[in-house]
Chains A and B, each alone.
Chain A
């Protein structure tokens, strides 16, 4: 079935999958968002434990999505994997370190003889939630702002600056997306807590938090969207792959591919509706609305940067080295083989949804957290 598709069609198909994974990953980063709220939303150690346990039952999904994101990029767009991970060395290592310390923290925080003490593990969770999210936002923002690399005639990456990725932290515009993401994942975390924890004091504090964070989120998000839509963008010629600069290309892409613009707008509206329902109508059901909204918004942005002959990873030092889905993807054979593997994705999503539903039917309560018969974080 996939064999008959053209190389270009396969590249588009895989970019759609990457965009979907990116969207799902930003959504599941509510775990990171929640990790920055442990002190703010709790008034006692017990309430904090309710928050930690609520997140603790989902953290691995986020971790796994990150790993799959890496694997899928390696398989489908190996040139990006080699160029960005090898080049922006410290940016990616910083992100990875923040996730490494997250992985042990849930399990070890409350265990006896845990060597570093509960506070340290809570700090690890906070670092992962704050620094990790901001660094990831900056890394994703380099899809728009570019990076300082040149590819030689073997397509091997050479980085032009010795800071190896840290220079992205010096670009102020990268913080627009990074900070917007930071507040967004806190908002989603709030809705997850509302849905998952049956405890009124936490719910009251959560609604107030969402209200504040949407106010912080909006200027950064709108600033980011404004910057992206107005900026000069690299594009490539479909036959020669030669890279040229076009002004406001992202905006034109939304106009030329209106379904992307629709997807983006519907996503944003869904997020706002979810916030409205959570804060003003005091509903607890909005995690899925905000989730789908987030996935749609992020997907639309990633599709915008990858499709319509757009360069998705611009080089700021050698324009022609820039990466597009056309010059960075795997071979026809590999993309075909991987496409068959991708048919498993709906099945995987289905069992995740099924297990999520089965486990979350029973909400987290004080009784459960104080029960000796439960595995606790």
Chain B
């Protein structure tokens, strides 16, 4: 294994980021809106009120427009591990492939089979069967999210496997450790939460626009009640699951947490930075202030990360340079151990070639001992373990700030629709409209924190991105990057134009 050239790695990462960010423009709405339309259809079936059927079908039409492009952009995600991360796919495919296959068996077929009933079955199957189908689409899409996030969670926190030097790959040792790892579960809950919030923002935002334009006001108000009630519940759920997610990051990826908070010198009773600007001149180990104009919420980081007000939260200085007082090992020492592991693997292979059993056993022993540091063996200097701090820090703060705003917005909108007449509060209605894009920004920022924040790792501590990519001339990836960029952008424009047109046609106009 050798490090590949930076150009190839950068383009491979850029392509993955591009396709994943595009895909995640559509996934959250599928996750959230599927439940909202299921709730709306349930009200229709319970009450028999045709207006609810009209409302359900309007939102279903928007759901379908979004779903199609979600499926289109999702296809590449399934295969891109192979096309662009072939070494990765071999090194951990024995573990990583399983959740993807289970996702296909359990979730995708459910989603796609019942999707056809949901859209074409109104006059073909009974009301009850149709309603069940709508719920199964929601369950299927959420199940799919679970399995893909199990796969992603495993990259952040690899568990349940053993390294096999004969095949040079990691092999699964415990399926349940992989599927139910606390990181995977926290990730799943937080990610579907973000989908639900976007679904709710979408519904209240579009309903608000219709009220502002005086179109289908009654239907829009009804939609708003469903959207805001669902939104308030799920935005609180999102905050709680975010807390658990951050707790897991503190346990398993302390470097990411330090980057998220711009924390250089670790401290006990550490606070959370509510707002602040990073000092661009700040380097690891120097005495410059890390932030300007920061406002801190005292003790909150220790509480969030360790559920203990007195806990010590390590900063980047501690994690890179080490901190004896708190027993934190520096990156230099980990790199040394990593190099021992890499060398041991090499010795094992050489001994195997000449069938020297004793040398094989010795190398194996050494490899087992130092395997947890294997990936460090490919890093050049201790600061290589630090992800891009500014991108991680600002993305995290944008996400948290917006998440807080959404709770407030849902609270206000729900109050005004239930206790007053929301049609009189034009500013709130406009704020609802403009909060739709904010939902997407927050969700994408969340993924930037998760994925940029874990650099340089493809698999935490085991495999840096520099050895994970496919051996291919970077020119190929450049071309495919631009092909994806152009194609997905064209499809996105088409999707938005169609969506806006359908919204303009209105709730009653379509049916």
Does A4 have its Cβ within 8 Å of any Cβ on chain B? Answer: no
Say which residue of B89, B116, B511 sits within 8 Å of A57 (CB atoms).
Answer: B116
Return the chain B residue nearest A70 by Cβ.
B78
The interface residues of chain A lying within 8 Å CB-to-CB of B483 are: 93, 97
Q: Does A242 contact B (CB under 8 A)?
A: no
Question: Across the interface, do A155 and B90 meet the contact criterion of CB distance under 8 Å?
Answer: yes
* Docked CA distance A115–B492 (Å): 10
In the docked arrangement, what's the CA distance between A114 and B212, Å? 25
Give the docked Cα–Cα distance between A295 and B287 (Å): 69
Taking a contact as CB atoms under 8 Å apart, the answer to whether B501 and A154 are in contact is no
Contact B129 A334, beta carbon cutoff 8 Å: no
**Which of these, B83, B104, B167, B500, contacts A85 with CB under 8 Å?**
B83
A317 at the interface (CB under 8 A from B): no
Q: Tell whether A208 is near chain B: CB-to-CB under 8 Å.
A: no
A74 to B72, CA, bound (A): 20
Beta-carbon contact of B89 and A111 below 8 Å: no
Contact with A along B65-100 (1 / 0, CB 8 A): 101110111111011011111110111011111101
**Distance (whole angstroms) from the CB of A357 to the closest CB of chain B:** 11
Chain B, residues 24-57, CB within 8 Å of chain A (1/0): the string is 0000000000000000000000000000000001
Residues of the B chain whose Cβ atoms lie less than 8 Å from the Cβ of A158: 471
Inter-subunit contact B90/A156 (CB<8 Å)? yes
From known contacts A60-B71, A63-B75, A156-B471, infer whether A331 and B164 are also in contact, taking CB-CB under 8 Å: yes
Say whether B511 contacts A81, CB under 8 Å.
Answer: no
The answer on a CB contact under 8 Å between A373 and B100 is no
Q: How far is the CA of A67 from the CA of B108 in the complex (A)?
A: 9
Q: Which residue of B lies closest to A154 (CB)?
A: B168
Q: Tell me if B240 counts as interface (CB < 8 A to partner A).
A: no
**Best-buried of B1, B68, B79, B95 by chain A (most CB within 10 Å):** B79
B108-149 CB mask vs A (1 if < 8 Å, else 0) is: 111111111101111111000100010000000000000000
User: Could you say which of B61, B108, B119 contacts A68, with CB atoms under 8 Å apart?
Assistant: B108
**Which chain B positions have C-beta within 8 A of A112?**
498, 501-502, 505
Any chain B CB within 8 A of the CB of A104?
yes
Residue in B closest to A53 when the chains form the complex, CB atoms: B120
Q: Is A334 a contact of B82 with CB atoms below 8 Å? A: no
Picked from A107, A114, A375, the residue with its CB within 8 Å of the CB of B120 is A375
The residue in B67, B75, B115, B490 that gathers the most chain A C-beta atoms within 10 A of its C-beta is B75
How far apart sit A79 and B164, CA to CA, in the bound complex (Å)?
14
Does A45 interact with chain B (Cβ within 8 Å)?
A: no
Stretch at the interface among A268-276, A284-292, A337-345: A337-345
B501's nearest neighbour on chain A, judged by CB, is A113
Between A67, A351, A359, the greatest number of chain B beta carbons within 10 A of the residue's beta carbon is seen for: A67
Does any Cβ of B come within 8 Å of A222's Cβ? no
Give B342 Cβ to nearest chain A Cβ, in Å.
11
The answer to the question of B493 belonging to the interface, with a C-beta cut-off of 8 Å to chain A, is yes
Q: A57-B120, A107-B68, A344-B105 are in contact. List 9 more A-B contacts (CB 8 A).
A: A63-B71, A68-B105, A101-B487, A104-B495, A113-B500, A355-B133, A362-B124, A375-B60, A375-B120
The 10 lowest CB-CB distance pairs between A and B, nearest first, are: A86-B86, A85-B82, A78-B93, A74-B97, A68-B104, A75-B97, A103-B72, A60-B112, A75-B101, A113-B501
Name A's B-contacting residues (CB within 8 A): 57-58, 60-61, 63-64, 66-68, 70-76, 78-79, 81-87, 89-90, 92-93, 96-97, 99-104, 106-108, 111-116, 153-159, 162, 164, 330-331, 333-334, 337-338, 341-342, 344-345, 348, 351-352, 355, 358-359, 361-362, 372-375
17 A-B contact pairs sorted by A residue (CB < 8 Å): A60-B116, A64-B108, A72-B101, A75-B93, A76-B101, A86-B82, A86-B471, A92-B82, A99-B72, A112-B505, A330-B97, A330-B98, A341-B102, A352-B109, A373-B511, A375-B64, A375-B122
Interface residues of B (CB under 8 A from A): 1, 57, 60-61, 64-65, 67-69, 71-76, 78-79, 81-87, 89-91, 93-98, 100-106, 108-117, 119-125, 129, 133, 164, 167-169, 171-173, 175, 349, 470-473, 476, 480, 483, 487, 490-491, 493-495, 497-498, 500-502, 505, 511
